[in-house]
Amino acid sequence: MEQKIFLNFAVGPVQIEPEVLALGAQPIPYFRTQEFSALMLGNEQLVLQAIKAPANSRVVFLTGSGTAAMEAALINLFTPKDKVLVINGGTFGKRFSQLCDVYSINHTDIVLPAGAALTEKHLAPFEKKGYTGLLVNLHETSTGVLYDQKLLADFCKRNHLKLLVDAISSFLADDIDMSGLGACAVIAGSQKAMALPPGISLIVLSQEGQDLIKHNKANGYIRTLYFDLENALTNGLRGQTPFTPAVSILIQLNYRFRQLQQEGFDKIIRRTALLASDFRKKIKGLPFQITSQSLSNALTPLTPTHPVSAYTIFELLKDRYHIFVCPNGGAQKDTLFRVGHIGNLTVQDNDRLLEALADLNTKNLI
Ligand SMILES: *Cc1c(COP(=O)(O)O)cnc(C)c1O
């Protein structure tokens, strides 16, 4: 593949800082060592702090993309004896639903129209109906809808539901309080706001989550080798993983999180919020409509108001200006594209994208 330099507003993989990229070019050390274990134990503490995890929480580092963590968390925390609710507001909600089908986990999907916020009225029909769990992508990345954390937390507490949160595109982009959520597990992925290469996913497990895994393992429910989280947790006690991890990404993670910790984990979230609001202010004169009822900091979903395909805009920006935005697929291919605000981006980068869009508009191409 020809390697051009792109300005990248995709929602993952995102632009990575030069110092982090340089670390990825270093020789890879052997990892069954005290030094690597110390780095991994450090990584665990850094992640726990960033996500405001409750006391006694643990982190599993999986080598695999975000979906691997979704699958692993689901099959370790839930069994065919459960009856779960799935907030299905788009591509990623649907993925939880598909995973439940694969593993014969009873589920009811709360299907939301594209762009719609989750409200009390969507949950009300499911109060006290014998459900045991709830699966949610805190930010439905396909449409750019951020769900209400307090609404979900209160509903789950009231109904004694085990809560599994996919925060892959909200971790380090929007404020997440795992303690406040009362989640038994929260998932994150390296290629989104963590701004690392793709390949590592995280599962943060509360004490309740760890106890559930132990219980399910002891009762013979966990039928997987690579995704056996009890095994991963045991290995993690000594800073190791059961299988060869993506060593370089874990070294990059350590560097990046120590940097973020130094400036305070809230700062990256504030910076992302500022970048998003700058873009949303400046896009106003151009022929687009912002389509989410509950915007995140991570991205802005845009629908063209002129008769031009959203996918054509993605291609024009890529081919003429060397700029990536994030196209949608399926039924939304022509109506929606997304502009990310995560990764190593600045207000000047926003301006370059906006100039390109203004240029296309002047030329009547969009
Ligand atoms: C990116 C993303 C995923 C994971 O996708 P992978 O391609 O498997 O990394 C899962 N959930 C959400 C909400 C995401 O944004």
Specify whether the CB–CB gap between 227 and 7 falls below 8 A.
no
All structural domains of the chain with their residue ranges? 7-13+265-362, 20-262
Describe the strand order of the beta sheet including 106-111 as a list of residue ranges: 58-63, 200-205, 185-189, 162-166, 133-137, 83-88, 106-111
- Is the distance from the beta carbon of residue 67 to the nearest atom of ligand 1 less than 6 Å? yes
2 pLDDT band (50/70/90 cuts)? low
Q: 92 CA to middle of ligand 1, Å?
A: 7
DSSP 284: G
| Share above pLDDT 70 across residues of the chain, in percent, rounded to a whole number | 99
Domain boundaries 7-13+265-362, corresponding CATH code: 3.90.1150.10
Does 20-262 match 7-13+265-362 at the fold level? no
d(CA 64, CA 306): 40
d(CA 22, CA 197): 12
- Is the distance from the beta carbon of residue 69 to the nearest atom of ligand 1 less than 6 Å? no
pLDDT value, residue 4: 74
Give tens-digit pLDDT for 322-346. Answer: 999 999 999 999 999 999 999 999 9
Backbone angles phi, psi at 104, to 5 degrees: 50, 45
- Is the distance from the beta carbon of residue 189 to the nearest atom of ligand 1 less than 6 Å? yes
DSSP 304: E
1 pLDDT band (50/70/90 cuts)? low
Domain boundaries 20-262, corresponding CATH code: 3.40.640.10
Overall average pLDDT of the 165-184 stretch: 97
E-only strand ranges, the chain: 7-8, 58-63, 83-88, 106-111, 133-137, 139-140, 145-146, 162-166, 185-189, 200-205, 288-290, 299-304, 323-324, 326-327, 337-340
204 pLDDT band (50/70/90 cuts)? very high
Overall average pLDDT of the 291-312 stretch: 97
Token code pair at residue 275: 């970048």
Q: What is the mean pLDDT of the chain?
A: 97
Residue whose C-alpha is closest to residue 63's, from 162, 157, 205, 189: 189
pLDDT value, residue 211: 98
5 pLDDT band (50/70/90 cuts)? confident
d(CA 126, CA 119): 13
Signed CA dihedral, 263, 268, 273, 276: sign only: positive
Q: Ligand 1: which residue has its CA nearest to atom 12?
A: 168
In angstroms, the Cα distances linking 162 to 58, 133, 210, 350 are 17, 4, 12, 40
Q: Tokens 């984990």 belong to which residue?
A: 265
- Is the distance from the beta carbon of residue 296 to the nearest atom of ligand 1 less than 6 Å? no
- Is the distance from the beta carbon of residue 15 to the nearest atom of ligand 1 less than 6 Å? no
Overall average pLDDT of the 289-303 stretch: 97
Q: 168 CA to middle of ligand 1, Å?
A: 6
* 11, 67, 201: residue to mutate for ligand 1 pocket, most atoms within 8 A of CB: 67
Signed CA dihedral, 136, 137, 143, 149: sign only: positive
Overall average pLDDT of the 167-185 stretch: 97
- pLDDT surpasses 70 at 33: yes
Three-state DSSP class for 136?
A: strand
| Share above pLDDT 90 across residues of the chain, in percent, rounded to a whole number | 99
The rounded radius of gyration (Å) of the Cα atoms in the chain is 21
pLDDT value, residue 216: 98
Give tens-digit pLDDT for 63-112. Answer: 999 999 999 999 999 999 999 999 999 999 999 999 999 999 999 999 99
